[in-house]
Amino acid sequence: MTPYPLEGCVSWNMNTVCNYRCSYCTQRFLDDRKAWARDLPGFLEAFRRLPGQWEIKLSGGEPFLHPQFLETVERLIQQGRRVAVVTNFSSSPTVLERYAAVTAPRPGVFSASLHLEYVSAATFLEKLLWFKSFYRGPLVATCVATPAQLPQLPELQEIYQKAGISLKIQPQKEDRDVIDYSDAEELQLRALGGHNGTGRLEASFRGRACWAGARYLIVDHRGEVWRCYPARRARSERLGNLLDGSFRLGMQAQPCLYEFCSCTVPFQRGMVDGGRDVRG
């Protein structure tokens, strides 16, 4: 049995707002792409009550576009939470400098998504190197491996690697399933490190004990809580709502009920029994 994870992680999709409209965005069919978490005192109080150590991983949409983004980050840090972010990295230098300063006491992973439909790989790298010169936490770049973009990714990965930035690849998804790549494309994806460098495209841990629901949570902008992304998709293992008092945190690892696991956090942090041995 995988041991109790000392630091839990909340993936908080704090808004659906985004300034980009990527052709492969998994959220492009959402009814409302202008929503954001409004009751910040309610969210902050709920996060404060979580027992033990937690990282709050902010994502969206584009989380930097939340109207009270930096204020929220500052309050979470003051609570003693580590703050990580997944961003398209389009914010101004002033805002990014402020983010680095505010998170300095407990900086989590800064994950910058390269969207080649909006920015060139060279411009993105230049900005990343500037940011890396003063950001105190780990920094990674990611890129969705659409079939059209796949051929240029080995070279880009090498250029980024030489510059000291890890460029991780994410398989393209359609309706949250990995698209049908050809065998040759799958080989290329694996050679590039697989999904987020895990070595796999998609794995199944069904039946294995997983700490998601107890030490990993998905929270949306309305406060709805799910065990993990596949649980949210299946509309099962809803854990209540953070804002109306109905949220109940799991207490222990439970068997995984899902055919495929699209969450990298539990896998990468050793929260899934035997997960690191599986190659999908």
Binding site for ligand SF4 (CB under 6 A): 18, 20-22, 25, 27, 60-62, 88, 113, 115, 205, 210, 212, 227-228, 230, 256, 258, 261, 263, 266, 272
CA gap 214, 63 in Å, rounded: 24
CA–chain centroid gap for 188, Å, is 23
CA gap 218, 216 in Å, rounded: 7
CA gap 155, 112 in Å, rounded: 18
Taking the complex as a whole, how short is the minimal distance between the CB of residue 54 and ligand SF4, in angstroms? 16
Measured at the CA of 279, the angle between CA 229 and CA 27, to 5 degrees, comes to 25
CA gap 51, 58 in Å, rounded: 19
Taking the complex as a whole, how short is the minimal distance between the CB of residue 107 and ligand SF4, in angstroms? 22
Q: Which is nearer to ligand SF4, 77 or 228 (CB)?
A: 228
Q: Which is nearer to ligand SF4, 59 or 157 (CB)?
A: 59
CA gap 259, 270 in Å, rounded: 19
Q: Which is nearer to ligand SF4, 17 or 44 (CB)?
A: 17
Q: Which is nearer to ligand SF4, 79 or 146 (CB)?
A: 146
Taking the complex as a whole, how short is the minimal distance between the CB of residue 117 and ligand SF4, in angstroms? 8
Amino acid residing at 108: G
Q: Which is nearer to ligand SF4, 77 or 140 (CB)?
A: 140
CA gap 43, 38 in Å, rounded: 9
Residues 6+ apart with CB under 8 A from 277: none
Taking the complex as a whole, how short is the minimal distance between the CB of residue 245 and ligand SF4, in angstroms? 25
Taking the complex as a whole, how short is the minimal distance between the CB of residue 262 and ligand SF4, in angstroms? 7
Rounded to the nearest 5°, which phi and psi values hold at 158? -65, -45
Taking the complex as a whole, how short is the minimal distance between the CB of residue 15 and ligand SF4, in angstroms? 10
Cis peptide preceding 61, ω within 30 of 0: yes
Give the bridge partners for 56, in sequence order. 10, 83
Taking the complex as a whole, how short is the minimal distance between the CB of residue 78 and ligand SF4, in angstroms? 28
Helix axes 40-49, 69-78, angle to 10 degrees: 30
Of 173, 137, 143, nearest to 159 by C-alpha is 143
Taking the complex as a whole, how short is the minimal distance between the CB of residue 5 and ligand SF4, in angstroms? 12
Q: Which is nearer to ligand SF4, 10 or 228 (CB)?
A: 228
Q: Which is nearer to ligand SF4, 42 or 197 (CB)?
A: 197
Q: Which is nearer to ligand SF4, 44 or 214 (CB)?
A: 214
CA gap 251, 241 in Å, rounded: 17
